[in-house]
Amino acid sequence: NEVGEISLKDIYQIAKTSFPLCMRHLFEKVREDHHLKHGGRMQLGLFLKGVGLKLDDALAFWKAEFAPKVSAERFDKEYAYNIRHNYGREGKRTDYTPYSCQKIISSTPGVGDHHGCPYRHFSEENLRAALVRMGVSSRAVEDVMDKVRNRHYQLACTLTFEAVHGSSCDAGINHPNQYFIDSQRIMQS
């Protein structure tokens, strides 16, 4: 992709600066809980692939994050296959594409799931708290909440992008990996 490869050691820093809220949330959750349910592993795993994390680094990332709860043996047996599958190395060898905003917004996370779009699926209270933690000013938070109330989730995400980067995003956000690429472009310029 346009951004190129991302190494495992850089991913933690980059997650803070350039991941959209949906992926920041999953990334924080896997680091906190040392686990993620299937929907979350798919949403974050394919995003990370799109960001440029190579298969070996992806396996190392998930294995290390799951390690406090999942033994290396169990990881290799129960989780590694799916990760290789996402990279097209198992089964039908399809190279799966990262999910678009539309797909994520229309998903239906259940209890204990952390995937989905926070603008759509978080409570108002949790969303406000998450935005403040991203460094969004209180005025911008109100603008974002206004979009959320009108069910313009991608516009809410676009306003967040603009608030966090201090830069406009005229095209709007329609894919988490586009958010990432646009963010990196600003960070590196």
Separation of alpha carbons 140 and 181, rounded Å: 22
Residue 161 CB, shortest distance to ligand SF4, in Å, is 8
Q: Does residue 176 belong to the site contacting ligand SF4 (CB under 6 A)?
A: yes
Q: Does residue 61 belong to the site contacting ligand SF4 (CB under 6 A)?
A: no
User: Contacts with ligand SF4: how many residues (CB under 6 A)?
Assistant: 15
Site string for ligand SF4, 78-107 (x = CB under 6 A): -----------------------x--xx--
Separation of alpha carbons 161 and 120, rounded Å: 16
Q: How many CA atoms lie within 13 A of 80 on its CB side?
A: 15
Closest to 19 in 3D by CA, of 176, 189, 145:
176
* Residue number, 66 or 182, with CB nearest to ligand SF4: 182
Indicate the SS3 state at residue 139: helix
Residue from the set 36, 157, 159, 163 that interacts with ligand SF4 by CB under 6 A: 157
Indicate the SS3 state at residue 173: coil
Q: Does residue 51 belong to the site contacting ligand SF4 (CB under 6 A)?
A: no
> In angstroms, how far is the first alpha carbon of the chain from the final one?
18
How far, in whole angstroms, is CA 174 from its chain's centroid? 13
Which range binds ligand SF4 by CB under 6 A, 49-57, 76-84, 111-119, 138-146? 111-119
Residue 103 CB, shortest distance to ligand SF4, in Å, is 8
Say what angle helices 21-33 and 38-51 make with each other, to 10 degrees.
120
Q: Does residue 18 belong to the site contacting ligand SF4 (CB under 6 A)?
A: no
Q: What are the tokens at 22? A: 């949906």
Q: Does residue 21 belong to the site contacting ligand SF4 (CB under 6 A)?
A: yes
Chain residues in the site for ligand SF4 (CB under 6 A): 20-22, 101, 104-105, 117-119, 153-154, 157, 173, 176, 179
